[in-house]
Amino acid sequence: MDTNKVEIDDLTFSVEQITKPVNFKDVRKITVTDAFERSSIELNDFAHTIVDNFDKTDSVSCCFIRLSSDGTKTVRFSINGSYQLETCAGGGWLFKPTEVGANAYWIPLLPMVRSFDPQGRILSEKPANLLGFNISLQALTIDIAIPENLHLDCTIWRFSGEASKLLGELEKLYVLEKQPVFLFSSHSKYQQPADLYKHLIHGHVYENQFNWSHKRKICSELDAYSLYLALAGLELATNKKIYGLLKRQIVYSVIARQADDGGWHHGEWTDLMESHFRLHCGGMLLLEAALDNEPDNLIRTALEKAAAFIAKHTDNTQFGVWFLHDALEQSAELMNKSGSRWIPSTFLGKSPTNKMILNTHLDTIVALDRYRECTGDDQYKDIVTSACKTAEAVLNLKPAEWLYRPLFKAIGLTLLPEQEAKRLPLPMRAIKRLAWKHLIPKLHIIKRRYPRFVMPGGIIERHLSPIHFNVRYQSVNIMDLTRYLRRFPSQQLQGVLDDAIKAIAKTSFLEYLAESKSRQDALAFWAEALYHLCMLHPEPIYRHYLAIAIIYLEKTNQGLPPSLIGSNTEVINKACKVPCLILNNPYLRVINLSSGDNIEFLVINTNKCQSEKIAWKNHEIDSLKWLAYEERHNKYCNSTLHILPCCWVLGVNK
């Protein structure tokens, strides 16, 4: 093996065919603020590194290393000195020095071998092949193979002796820190600090799933926002500084990927790298949360650019402005390149290519109004007002009740759990089959003739124009409508929301979602929607629905939405945040519904077999009043600290 070296302090790696040593401190600065500095260097078209420094003393840094190969190569990672290798509670491995005061290292994940397309989307990945490992008094070395025409990615954190406390924060985790968190975009789970690097790959935040249609991983600011919310809640609850560093890394990684036009571009459907505006709004919500946390000119500038970008991507309808779902809707030529079937239509005065996707329209309204709230800049007030007018108009459309009512009674039969459907009388099963095979495939034609989002029985359609019917978005629509109503109350739309909630909570719809892997993500959005409802309304019934949702999430092995830890600034301003209760029982899930002086923790026992006792570690209140819910009377009664299997209690301040 060639012994030429590339150095990062005392951490080195030597690579075949590298002819010139390079010191990684001689680098190009690409992001510089008082709290964060990102640097980059390329070497001989073979190696590229990104180094994140988190303070002026250079005591903590994170290095992303990417090595490529046009032929099979072997790379040796080497740390000079005497080290011990330990597994880390936060995930990955710690390299701890035997010499006091020497640097320590954390590798969150095994090095990964990946392939990319020219747009940077991940086409394949797998753990690297470790060829050799050696520990001696002089050095620790690891040899790794890089297959031909692939890239080796490795992430390494360095902690100086002065930063040993941060390292200690990774070595012991509370139960709350290991509680699985659902991510909004990829529908995957975060469960420990190392899981961040399943998403944060060489300085960009990706989904942790391969796109179902094109089998590739794309970047996602919505997953970045989910991670930020989780990290912010954990930072507040544990008071661990490491979460502040991870938050910072997420924020500046998202800013680093922002295009010159202010947008984030994803290429989910084409090689044109079109923007998916729901993901773009995730980036805005992330920057808004970060700006709420502390003033930062770089964050504010990026947010201003992002707001200007999304405000331009609209269509005009007979009611007013409609926010588009993605950049392909701008022309028929782009829509034809998407690979999806579509039918031009101009009902409600819209453009032929506007798919009229409701959840993205509502989400964009919220993101732009949050922008006004965070910055004081109200230049988009008229656009938002017009978009609100359009949203309320289309949600109040109720044409052809005579047609939609029997139609959705028939469609409702297709939304029953399998066992319930099997018990239907033969004539009902025949109607169910007719609806599944013939009515649902033609539903888009009826919606074009009689445009309507809100259906009899409470179902809210996701869109008007696309051909497919996807009832999974019922919970997403409820979530976004609740977020909208927080900002723009409407008695009429509250009625729409109430009916939509009943369509889930008063039926067997949750069981229908739970029995299929392809539908289970809707349960997490239902839980997120209920969190928002609980934070808006004191009624016990919403807490009851939320507890049931958590049981379903456990049953389907999914994470809890990140807002539930209690740090969503869309809901709670910075001054009113309350640290989440930390319990020491892995069967208990805790939901933070506190705000300011109102202390409220929902605790659910996910153990199916036995009662579990509540015991907490961190809350400053010595005693909370514990209440159980009586569903029959829709009221609370006093409870003990023992929770029955699959039941829940509410802890409130006395």
Nearest alpha-carbon partner for 119 in 326, 257, 271: 271
Distance of CA 306 to the CA centre of its chain: 19
Packed helices 358-375 and 277-293: angle between N→C axes, nearest 10 degrees: 20
Instruction: Give the span between the Cα atoms of 371 and 517, in whole angstroms.
Output: 36
pLDDT digits (tens, 9 = 90+) for 238-272: 999 999 999 999 999 999 999 999 999 999 999 99
Sign of the CA dihedral with 99 first, then 103, 108, and 112 last: negative
Say how many C-beta atoms besides its own lie within 10 A of residue 58's C-beta.
13
Q: Quick one: tokens of 276?
A: 């998916």
Distance of CA 613 to the CA centre of its chain: 31
Of residues 588 and 31, more confidently modeled: 588
User: Do residues 611 and 563 lie in contact, with contact meaning Cβ atoms separated by under 8 Å?
Assistant: no
State how beta strands 22-23 and 5-8 pair.
Answer: parallel
Instruction: Give the span between the Cα atoms of 168 and 170, in whole angstroms.
Output: 5
Residue 4: band (very low, low, confident or very high) from pLDDT cuts 50, 70, 90: very low
Q: Which of 27-36, 101-110, 323-332, 604-613 comes out lowest in average pLDDT? A: 27-36
Q: In this prediction, what percent of the chain has a pLDDT beyond 90?
A: 74
The domain segmentation of the chain, as residue ranges, is: 5-257, 398-531
Instruction: Give the span between the Cα atoms of 246 and 227, in whole angstroms.
Output: 9
Check pLDDT > 50 for residue 48: yes
Give the mean pLDDT of 447-451: 95
pLDDT digits (tens, 9 = 90+) for 400-418: 999 999 999 999 999 999 9
What residues contact residue 30 under an 8 Å CB cut-off, 6+ apart?
38, 39, 40, 256
Instruction: Give the span between the Cα atoms of 297 and 546, in whole angstroms.
Output: 38
CA dihedral 57, 60, 64, 67 (to 10 degrees): 80
- pLDDT at residue 31 in the model: 64
Of residues 198 and 9, more confidently modeled: 198
Residue 197: band (very low, low, confident or very high) from pLDDT cuts 50, 70, 90: very high
* Exposed / middle / buried, residue 389 (Cβ in 10 Å: 0-12, 13-18, 19+): middle
Check pLDDT > 50 for residue 17: no
- Phi/psi-derived region of residue 136, left when phi > 0, alpha when psi is between -120 and 50, beta in every other case: beta
Q: Quick one: tokens of 183?
A: 């991510």
The DSSP secondary structure of 72-131, one letter per residue, reads -EEEEEEEES-EEEEE-TTSSEEEEESSTT--EEEE-S--EEEEE-TTS-EEEEEE-EEE
Which amino acid is it at 428? M
Check pLDDT > 70 for residue 19: no
pLDDT digits (tens, 9 = 90+) for 499-517: 999 999 999 999 999 999 9
Residue 637: band (very low, low, confident or very high) from pLDDT cuts 50, 70, 90: confident
Of residues 87 and 466, more confidently modeled: 87
Residue 5: band (very low, low, confident or very high) from pLDDT cuts 50, 70, 90: very low
- pLDDT at residue 324 in the model: 98
Average pLDDT, the chain: 91
Nearest alpha-carbon partner for 218 in 183, 155, 152, 265: 265
pLDDT digits (tens, 9 = 90+) for 263-315: 999 999 999 999 999 999 999 999 999 999 889 999 999 999 999 999 999 99
Instruction: Give the span between the Cα atoms of 614 and 11, in whole angstroms.
Output: 46
Q: Quick one: tokens of 369?
A: 């109004």
User: Do residues 466 and 355 lie in contact, with contact meaning Cβ atoms separated by under 8 Å?
Assistant: yes
Annotate 492-508 with b (16+ C-beta within 10 A) or e (fewer).
ebeebbebbbebbbebe
Instruction: Give the span between the Cα atoms of 593 and 535, in whole angstroms.
Output: 6
Check pLDDT > 50 for residue 342: yes
CA angle at residue 380 from 377 to 385, to 5 degrees?
125
pLDDT digits (tens, 9 = 90+) for 590-632: 999 999 999 999 999 999 999 988 888 766 656 788 888 887 7
pLDDT digits (tens, 9 = 90+) for 138-176: 888 888 888 888 999 999 999 988 888 899 999 999 999
Nearest alpha-carbon partner for 447 in 322, 355, 320: 355
Give the mean pLDDT of 546-570: 96
The DSSP secondary structure of 569-600, one letter per residue, reads TTTS-GGG--PPP-BS-TTEEEEE--BTTB-E
- pLDDT at residue 44 in the model: 63
Residue with tokens 């049953």: 555
Q: What are phi and psi of 141, to 5 degrees?
A: -130, 145
Of residues 320 and 212, more confidently modeled: 320
* Exposed / middle / buried, residue 596 (Cβ in 10 Å: 0-12, 13-18, 19+): exposed
Where does 136-284 show beta strands of DSSP type E? 139-146, 151-159, 181-182, 189-190, 200-201, 204-205
Beta-bridge partner residues of 190: 181
Check pLDDT > 80 for residue 26: no
pTM for this one?
A: 0.94
- pLDDT at residue 45 in the model: 67
Check pLDDT > 60 for residue 361: yes
